[in-house]
Chains A and B, each alone.
Chain A
Amino acid sequence: MSQSEFFDDVWGSDSEDNNVIHKDIDKLRDQHSKRGYLDGIVGSKEVNLQQGFDEGFPTGAQLGHEVGLIIGRLQGLNYLYGETDEELAKSFKDATKELKISHVLNKHSFDENYNLIDNFHDLVNKWKLITQKYCEQYNVKIT
């Protein structure tokens, strides 16, 4: 049964009554549709945020792991050889500044959908190469 059929059935159908009915329907629509709209915004926000979160998480994890590897290797090397190798000590200090989260998760490395551009991160790659050089120098096997 359509809305008008329903109201015709209940209230009859002469035009004066119809105007009142339509006003009532508009009021009803306004009231319930607004409530639904608000619930829809609040409810879906959580779902959409969670879906986005799950999509971003693995890339963040991968970058965090790579940065951690670099920092751990440089920290270990600096601990062992930093007192006699000034360049190494400086590199370690620079890496701890440059590889902070705020520099790695920077918009310049991502496209508008927060995907890594060409699946490559310039800054992380730069430090991977620097660390690789020190690992070769101090005979550290890395895979």
Chain B
Amino acid sequence: MDFEENLLKLEEHFYQEGFEEGQNENLHNNFMEGKQFGLQVGFQRYVLLGQIVGLCDILDSLDLQNIMLTKNIASVRKLIDGIEMNNDEKNVEQLEKTLVKLKNKFRTILLSFQRLTKDRKLKKHLNFDDVDDLSRMIGGKMQTFVEDEDVSEAKTTQDQMHEW
């Protein structure tokens, strides 16, 4: 083994030593930081799905005797039931695809509902934007965990939003 080769090995050895030390530094803190963010994103992604199911429960209770409406509601429920609540790559991809279908189907449901209840003199129509806006308001923009009960002066444990 020549001198240069040995020197290179030594450099690698020192690099590895430093790398392992750096790797273990803040391991717990980084994990917790990620966990807070996971809780937040998980919450934000699933509010709308729950909200749609909740609204379907109410529409079902009216028993409007319309085959298409019943069929579409069942189809929306099935789509949502098929979504798993984890961050596996496959599920995230599936969720994105399903969301598009789901939103379109639910728009159709709300339009049928408006048509079927036009004689009821209900206040303004319930449309998909009302549902979506409310979901965004609930899921909102939040940087991370809130330390204080008083949200107006909430201190978060992290200053910046990470892009994942």
Find out whether the CB atom of B42 lies under 8 angstroms from the CB atom of A48.
no
Interfacial residues of chain A within 58-99, with CB under 8 A of chain B in the complex: 58-77, 79-80, 83, 96, 99
Answer whether residue A22 sits at the interface, using C-beta atoms and an 8 A cutoff. Answer: no
Find out whether the CB atom of B18 lies under 8 angstroms from the CB atom of A36.
yes
Contacts of B23 in A (CB 8 A): 40-41, 43-44
Q: How far is the CA of A60 from the CA of B56 in the complex (A)?
A: 22
Total count of chain B residues near the partner, CB < 8 A? 76
Find out whether the CB atom of B50 lies under 8 angstroms from the CB atom of A67.
yes
What is the predominant secondary structure among interface residues of chain A facing chain B? helix
Total count of chain A residues near the partner, CB < 8 A? 75
Closest 4 CB pairs of A and B: A68-B50, A72-B54, A40-B22, A60-B42
Can you pick out 16 interface pairs between chain A and chain B where the beta carbons lie within 8 Å of each other?
A32-B11, A40-B23, A44-B27, A45-B30, A50-B34, A51-B34, A52-B37, A55-B35, A56-B40, A57-B86, A62-B42, A64-B49, A67-B138, A68-B49, A75-B134, A105-B36
CB within 8 Å of B: which residues of A?
A: 1, 3, 6, 10, 25, 28-29, 31-45, 48-77, 79-80, 83, 96, 99-108, 110, 113-114, 135, 138-142
